[in-house]
């Protein structure tokens, strides 16, 4: 498989979204993870600008979740909003330079990083993709989560936080991607985020904090359970009396 993403150097460290594809690639197998947009993504609006947080946490939760508990069932909208806000703040404080350094170092030729990117999708691991628009007022960045590569169409299937529950695609051959009213012409595959210990700890901490708060808010019928020790009451409360000998 041979794929080369080439572009003019950008100060932001992202390459122009231009793709040179060999004939071998057209016949290559597609690569995908079993990521389900309707279950494994956030169901809140990205109006505040939480795209990186929503893409990164969706990836982390998908890779670590219980099999029968997708993200939308595990987190209510309030919890999703809290996690997205705090994680985006963490990203802005701690990861921007890391991201810029990586994309700058790999902007001229991303063929090797894309091969690893596609291999990860084959192994069932979604990957973060960074996009950039360089407008008159300065660069605008956007993060999405790729979960499938379709070589015969030159398409990346993605979760775009700007579109709630809707599958989107990036056409690498076309060389641009439009999200809402912004068209992006530069791309980066930031491997530096895939196994970042600080980012992983932050996401794990935010999730466990949410679980603790949710459990604390659930009323427990201790008073009712203590009012009588009768078998009928115990059964009504759903408690066991212990083994019978």
- Where in the chain are the domains? 3-218
Dmax (CA) of the chain: 80
Q: Give pLDDT, residue 175.
A: 84
Residues comprising the chain, all counted: 245
Rounded CA gap, 10 and 140, in Å?
13
Question: In sequence order, what E strands does the chain have?
Answer: 3-6, 15-16, 18-21, 31-32, 127-135, 138-150, 155-159, 167-171, 177-179, 182-184, 186-188
**Terminal-to-terminal C-alpha distance of the chain:** 67
Low-confidence ranges of the chain (pLDDT < 50): 1-12, 18-27, 228, 233-245
Record the tokens describing residue 36, joined without a space. Answer: 């389900």
Task: Give per-residue pLDDT as tens, 93-137.
Answer: 999 999 988 888 877 777 888 889 988 998 889 999 999 988 777
Q: Can you tell me whether residue 186 is helix, strand or coil? A: strand
The answer to whether residues 130 and 190 touch, using CB atoms and an 8 Å cutoff, is yes
Q: Which residues, other chains included, contact 115 with Cβ-Cβ below 8 Å and sequence gap of 6+? A: 1, 3
pLDDT of 214:
81
Q: Provide φ and ψ at 114, rounded to 5°.
A: -70, -35
State pTM to two decimals. 0.78
In the block, residue with structure tokens 């993504």: 41
Fold classification of 3-218 is Cathepsin B; Chain A (3.90.70)
């Amino acid at each position: 498989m041979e794929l080369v993403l080439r572009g003019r150097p950008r100060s932001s460290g992202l390459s122009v979204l231009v793709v040179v594809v060999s004939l071998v690639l057209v016949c290559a197998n597609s690569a995908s993870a079993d990521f389900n947009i309707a279950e494994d993504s956030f169901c809140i609006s990205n109006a505040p600008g939480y795209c990186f947080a929503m893409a990164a946490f969706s990836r982390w939760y998908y890779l670590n979740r219980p099999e029968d508990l997708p993200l939308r069932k595990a987190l209510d909208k309030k919890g999703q909003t809290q996690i997205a806000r705090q994680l985006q703040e963490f990203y802005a404080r701690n990861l921007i330079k890391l991201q810029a350094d990586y994309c700058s170092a790999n902007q001229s030729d991303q063929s090797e990083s894309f091969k690893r990117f596609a291999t990860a999708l084959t192994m069932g691991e979604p990957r973060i993709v960074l996009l950039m628009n360089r407008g008159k007022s300065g660069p605008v960045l956007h993060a999405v989560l790729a979960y499938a590569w379709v070589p015969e169409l030159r398409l990346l299937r993605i979760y775009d936080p700007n579109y709630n529950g809707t599958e989107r695609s990036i056409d690498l051959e076309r060389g641009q991607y439009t999200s809402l009213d912004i068209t992006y012409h530069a791309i980066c595959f930031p491997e530096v985020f895939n196994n970042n210990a600080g980012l992983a700890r932050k996401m794990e901490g935010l999730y466990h904090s949410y679980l603790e708060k949710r459990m604390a808010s659930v009323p427990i019928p201790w008073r009712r359970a203590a009012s009588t020790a009768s078998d009928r009451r115990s059964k009504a409360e759903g408690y066991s009396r212990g083994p019978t000998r």
